[in-house]
Structures are given as C-alpha cells and as structure tokens.
Structure 1
Amino acid sequence: MSLRLAAFFLSLLALSSLPIAAGASELSDKLSQPDQILIMRHARAPGIGDPSGFTLNDCTTQRNLNEEGRDQARKIGNWLRQQGISGAIVASSPWCRTRETASLLGFGPPEMQEALASFFNDAARGETANQRLQQYLRTVLPGKGSRALILVTHDVNIARWTGESVASGEMVLVRVDADGKPLSHKVYARPD
C-alpha cells in the first residue's frame, strides 16, 4: 500500500471517530408526533410522601428538591435539548417539587395542572386521577403540533397510568390514543 493511500485511510478513520452534531433523536422524533408525550417523575426530593399537615400553597410544609435534585432537573433539561427537543409544552403537578423540576428543565414557565396532582395519601383516588389526566390530554393534544409535551408528576401517578414505577427524574415516553389512554410506552433512565 502506498504511503499516500495509507494516509488517506488514516484520515478516514480519524474522521469517523469525530462526534456528529446533535440533531433529532428517536425521542425528539417521537415527541414531535401528536400521539406521543413524555411523563416524568420529579427530580430528587429526599423522603417519602409529605409531612402531615402540608399545604400546597406553602412550599416550606412540603418535601422539596435538594441541591442534588435541582442539579438533576437541569441535567435532564440539557439532555432533552441534546436529543433535539427545542420547544416544549411543560405542565406540572401543583406540588412544589414538581413545579421546580419543570421550571429547571429550561423550557419556560410550566403550566400548573391539577390533573397531575399526587394521590399518594389517598390511593382510592387513583382511577379518578387517571381520568383527569386523560381528560387533560384530550384537551391539550390537538394544539400540541410538533412540540414536545412534557408532564412532570409523581411516581404514584405514573405507576397507576402506565404500570411503570420510576425513580426520581426518570421519564416514560407514552403513545396515547385520542382519548388520552396509554397504548405503549418506553422508560428512559435519568441522564447522569
């Protein structure tokens, strides 16, 4: 092999190892479709449930994100942008930890959505919670267009709706029907 040909092949090998500019990914492609949504659990908030006597209007009475959770939320937002998601409709449960997670994703102010409210302290409300979520999806999906729809909520809500129990910051891509009922899903681990 000539020296010139060897240099050419070495150049090709070097070019093949260079990173490719971020573009659309499977996730961003899916989320641009009208029947796909991303539902995620809030970032790290130490503990389980909320203290007795908590109120939604007072974050000091709730379980909240710690610094690790805030960092997780920012990393998730950056990871979503690396996947090619540039515009998103973001909604969160009324709890402070979900609102803060949604805000730190960096897609603009989240919409507070009662349909994403936790029912941790009242498991009997699980079916009603699913119905409210599906009603919300029926109203928001027609106007979603190609934007991603990201819902930030609680593990109990995600588990009841999809059958998947997820850790803090984990996400579930869900394909829904016209009534907002889940048809299929894929879990995404929290990016580190």
Structure 2
Amino acid sequence: MPVILIRHGQSEGNLRRIFQGSLDYPLTDLGRDQARSVGKWLEGRGMQFDAVYSSPLSRAHETARILGGQTGNTEIQTHELLREIHGGELEGLTHEQCVEKFPAYAERKLPEGADFSNYGGESYAKVNVRILQFIEHIQQRHNEPESILIVAHGGTLYQLFKRWCGWPVPTHFFVSMSNCVMICLEQRSVLGHLGAQLKWMLPLELLDTSLTTEWRLADNPAEE
C-alpha cells in the first residue's frame, strides 16, 4: 500500500519564523502556490488516492484541500492524532525569544530535540503513542492496493515515517522538513511485522516536469 506524506505549505507562522506547534496559523499566498504546484505534479503523474487524511490545523487542512482538488479527492478526513507536536510555552515565540525566555533552550542536545515536556508541551513518549495509534488506524482501515495521502506537519510527519519504517535512530532524533516536501512509503511485512520502507523523498524545490514517479531521493530529510 503506497502512502504519500506531505508537509503543509508555508504558513504565516513559518513566514514570521514562529514556533507554531499546536497554534493555528493559515497558509500564506506562497504556501497556497506551493500546494498547487505539488498538486499539479501529482495530477500530472496520474496519482489518485483512496483516502486523504489531514491534521485539523488550518495550514495542513487547506493544503490537503488544495491537493485533493487537483487529484479528485474532495473528502478530507481530519484526524487529531496528526496535530503538530505541542511545544508548550515555546509556542508563539521566535527562536530568539525562546532562548531569551528559556536560556537552557539554546543548550538542548540532539536527544532532547523532540521532547517539549520541560516547557509544558508534549513528551516524546506521548507523541509516539499517538503516532503509533494513527499507524494502527491506517493499517486496520486500509488494505492493498489502496493508496493513502497524509498531510500534516514537519515534526509529526518525521516521527510518523520514522516509526512506520522502524528506523534505528536515536530515541529523540528530530530533523525539520521543508514546506510541501513529499515522502513516499510502501507498506511491507518483515518477519510477520507490518511496517514500511522509504521509497522516495522529493523536496518542493526539486520538482520538475521531467521527473517520474520512479524518481528516487532517500538520503536525508530536507531541512527548512
């Protein structure tokens, strides 16, 4: 079962370089153009989806609506489990403001990157509980050869595809993803365990009319 993960287009929070987390910022005009560009690419390759899932936050949901309008998917299923990681007191602040308010934030090590419990936000453990719940939800509701489109957020999507693929990376490893990056997973069974493998990753800036669905890029997740 192919699963396409797409991060939302540029939001007002992205433009202002704000820690968004669970806060609801709409897309910018550029963000809408980004979504239309990705939708055109999907449409041009005849990609159709049996189901489209989205975070309830408007920046992701509007991206999903734009994509669905171009792929023939008018029904968007919102799912609370796809919300962005809650950053607690960091939300609404720029990086500089985060460091000014919480000096220790600047000294955070890589293993702490996806855990915001010290700031009143979500712990890494809680994030992974809901990520695994969502994966289980998809596996129970959809079978081969159905194709699924999931539109959400950088933090959530990275944890989602890391867990789905069973990547042997540090417990709290966290990287960012550029707006409208596309990630294709293929579900597979290994030793009786249903997981997924990363098939390709395509940052928005590499979209080109000469690309085909067989094109592959799987070195590192794109940075913001």
TM-score by length of 1: 0.67
- State the Cα distance separating 1:183 from its structure 2 match: 2.9
Query: What is the CA deviation profile of residues 26-70 of structure 1, one whole-angstrom value per residue up to 9, with x for unaligned ones?
Result: xxxxxxxx2x20011111112343388x4xxxxxxx222100001
* Mapped partners of 1:51, 1:182: distance in 2: 26
**Bigger Rg, which one:** 1
Counterpart of 1:96 in structure 2 is 58
Tell me whether 1:189 sits opposite 2:159 in the alignment: no
Moved more, 72-81 or 160-169: 160-169
User: Closer, same or farther in 2 for the Cα pair 1:138/1:123, shift >3 Å?
Assistant: same
Other-structure match for 1:43? 9
Given the superposition, is the C-alpha separation of residues 88 and 138 from structure 1 closer, same or farther in structure 2, using an over 3 Å criterion?
A: closer
Aligned: 1:71 with 2:63: no
| 1:138 equivalent in structure 2 | 139
Deviation of 1:147 after TM superposition, in Å, equals 4.7
Give CA-to-partner distance per residue, 1:133-157, whole Å, 9 cap, x none.
2112112322xx5453100011111
Amino acid at match of 1:50: Q
Query: For the residues of structure 1 that align with 2:131 and 2:37, how far apart are their CA atoms?
Result: 29
Shift in CA distance, 156/186, structure 1 to aligned 2, threshold 3 Å: same
- Between the aligned residues of both structures, percent identity stands at 22
Matches within 5 A, 1:163-182: 163=162, 165-177=176-188, 181-182=195-196
Task: Specify the code of the residue in structure 1 equivalent to 2:5.
Answer: I
Q: 1:184 to 1:51 in 2, by over 3 A?
A: closer
Rounded Cα–Cα distance in structure 1 between residues aligned with 2:139 and 2:21:
33
Q: Which residue of 2 aligns with 1:82?
A: 44
- In the alignment of these two chains, the number of paired residues is 148
175-184 or 99-108: bigger deviation? 175-184
Instruction: Show structure 1 runs of 4+ deviating over 4 A.
Output: none
Q: Which amino acid aligns with 1:128?
A: V
Report the CA distance shift for 1:135/1:48 in structure 2 as closer, same or farther (over 3 A). farther
Task: After superposition, give the CA deviation of every residue in 1:78-114 in whole Å (9 maximum; x if it has no partner).
Answer: 1101011144421101111111000011121311112
Alignment match, 2:119: none
- Unaligned segments of structure 1, at least 5 residues: 1-33, 55-61
CA gap 1:182/1:79 in 2 versus in 1, 3 angstroms: same
With structure 2 as the length reference, what TM-score do the two structures score? 0.58
C-alpha RMSD of the superposition? 2.4
Q: Aligned partner of 2:138: which letter?
A: L
